[in-house]
Structure 1
Amino acid sequence: MKKSIKVFAPATVANVVCGFDILGFAVNEPGDELVMELTDKRGVKIISIEGDEGKLPLDPQKNTVSASVISLLKKLEREDLGINIQLKKKMPMGSGLGSSSASAVAGLFAANELLGQPLSKMELLPFAMEGEALACGHGHADNVAPALFGGFTLIKSYDPLEVIALPVPKLYCALLYPHVDVPTRDARQIIRSKVLLKDAVTQWGNIAGLISSLYTHDYDLLGRCLKDVIVEPIRSILIPEFDFMKAYAMENGALGFGISGSGPTVFSLYKSPDDGQKVITNLQRMLADKGIKSNIYLSEINETGPVILA
């Protein structure tokens, strides 16, 4: 049995504008790296965490990555094992890019590989959701599912849990993370608990049209469906210059523009990588002129999920 492994798990864009809590996709950059080693000393231990500025707990019961692995080992009746974890955060936390999901998926994928793949990815998903619940208070799958499976995913239902992999047309995702604080819990609390029927009908149509566009590779339809009349109008208030950034992107080649997860990261989709790079580079400069620092990334859609690096 292999004694150590190094893996990468991708960041994700949840909701995809109109699909609140049910749609998501993975990107190639950024993401998390993790080294896991089997040891003779029983128990799961976090040896080190890089890139978190000391914010994440080293207590294995309180950290997303280790808690998920502990739960997995209990299920498999392998609590006799010793596991050391080194986590390298290569993505911003609290950014709306599924940071906790990437960590949980990296840990579960690595442990499952070291144990000889006793579980399928679908069987690993509930454990990843447990880790997400520990980090964010909600065990939703719109980040962990695409991080685990790659590509676009649809959460058809939570009870019972059913996830559908969707086709992935050639797309480029431009991400811009402004350095402002939008806690996930706060972003969820401001969402209306009731919506007008006419808004729900509009949203259902956009979701259905978006999924159809992925199957038909209809980019014009995709662009027309990347609209949200329920959540974005409220959440966007928390993101400085959101309306300006959206207008600029849409005027310069974007198929659509929206909030990644609960924000503050925003994303836009393109047929051309050059258009995407130009837009986020210019937006980063424009935000800097207003005193707002940011990180930018450009990536194709990640179709693999986590991968073994070594």
Structure 2
Amino acid sequence: MKEVTAFAPATVANVSCGFDILGFAIDELGDRVTVRHAEESRLKVTKITGDGGKLPYEVERNTCTVAVQAMLKALGYTGGMDISLDKGLPLGSGMGSSAASSVAALIAANRLLNDPFTKDDLLPFAMLAEKIACGAAHADNVAPSLLGGFVLIRSYHPLDVTALHVPKGLHCTLIHPHMELNTADSRSVLRKQVSLQNATIQSGNIAGLVAGLYQENMGLISRSLQDVIAEPSRSVLIPGYEEIKEAIKEAGALGCGISGSGPTIFILSPDRDIAAEVKTISQKVFDKIGLDVDLYVSEINSRGAYVLNEII
């Protein structure tokens, strides 16, 4: 094979109560990466589009090359590759932008070498790229982007990731305000310690959300979409958040939360019609505020990252 192009989807991480341990994948939105064999024995970022000139070309700083370099080192491969990135996701959006880039690069590079690794095998390499991007090697974006569906990270040491059941009909509405919120800044506002009371509440909500997914119990899912740890500190950084949270109640939405570190807001609904109605309601809220937003309605993406095109 001479060239492979792969796609990796946007993701919602944390999912309210599941700070750093829960995430799910979104349909259609995402990044594309093309990887080609190179004559020289080195990695090189040859082109980046869709980033407004903000992303680095340096191999040690670009999430695509950091992830692929780790993969090639594990494989013992000494050949070269050229990598080009087409950003479909805005930077600092809370939709797993850095994760989508590294995951798409890994899928393309792995396929270029005839798939020596499984998707599960690729996860640690993507996590190394997340550490470069935001200072923490968390998996709640890269795991669902890579594997698809709803994902639970039970443990980081050792890494223990498992897929969760996705209820039929479950839809997500994403609201992306036109503002950038750096992940490191968003993490910096979090409290370093959690009270026993809040730890107990959060644990109950995580267990309730997982149980609700498996039981397809929309009421239990709705009651469990409560975050008492990260949301109180982060919500004040996102204009319109409290207004959205209040406005969607009568529409039949299950609940809302901050996608990743923000500023994107996610809203879960039991079907597409309610998700579409919530989209309209959300647009009106931000029109009143005077802040431009992008809005999307999506099913939960069960496919994850995949190869788009191969040139032999």
TM over 0.5: yes
Which bin holds the TM-score, normalised by the shorter protein?
over 0.9
Partner of 1:115: 113
Paired residue type of 1:91 = L
> Cα offset for 1:221?
0.8
| TM-score normalised per structure 2 | 0.96
- Listed one character per residue, the Cα deviations across residues 58-103 of structure 1 (whole Å, up to 9, x for unaligned) are 1222111012111211111112x22111211111110011100000
Structure 1 window deviating more from structure 2 (92-101 vs 110-119): it is: 110-119
Partner of 1:181: 180
Partner of 1:74: 73
Structure 2 counterpart SS, 1:230: coil
Partner of 2:86: 88
Structure 2 counterpart SS, 1:229: coil
Q: Distance in 2 between matches of 1:6 and 1:15?
A: 29
Paired residue type of 1:272 = D
Q: Distance in 2 between matches of 1:186 and 1:134?
A: 15
Aligned residues: 308
Q: Distance in 1 between matches of 2:132 and 2:103?
A: 14
Structure 1 window deviating more from structure 2 (29-38 vs 142-151): it is: 29-38
The aligned runs of 1:87-106 (5 Å cut-off) are 87-106=85-104
Q: Distance in 1 between matches of 2:282 and 2:145?
A: 27
Paired residue type of 2:186 = A
Structure 2 residue runs of 5 or longer lacking an equivalent are: none
The aligned runs of 1:286-301 (5 Å cut-off) are 286-301=285-300
Please report the RMSD computed on the Cα atoms of aligned residues, expressed in angstroms. 1.2
> Cα offset for 1:11?
0.6
Structure 1 residue runs of 5 or longer lacking an equivalent are: none
The aligned runs of 1:1-310 (5 Å cut-off) are 2-79=1-78, 81-170=79-168, 171-310=170-309
| TM-score normalised per structure 1 | 0.96
Structure 1 window deviating more from structure 2 (45-54 vs 271-280): it is: 271-280
Q: Distance in 1 between matches of 2:45 and 2:72?
A: 15
User: In 1, are the aligned partners of 2:240 and 2:285 still within 8 Å (CA)?
Assistant: no
Q: Distance in 1 between matches of 2:186 and 2:38?
A: 41
Percent identity reads 50
Q: Distance in 2 between matches of 1:285 and 1:4?
A: 45
User: In 2, are the aligned partners of 1:64 and 1:131 still within 8 Å (CA)?
Assistant: yes
> Cα offset for 1:48?
0.9
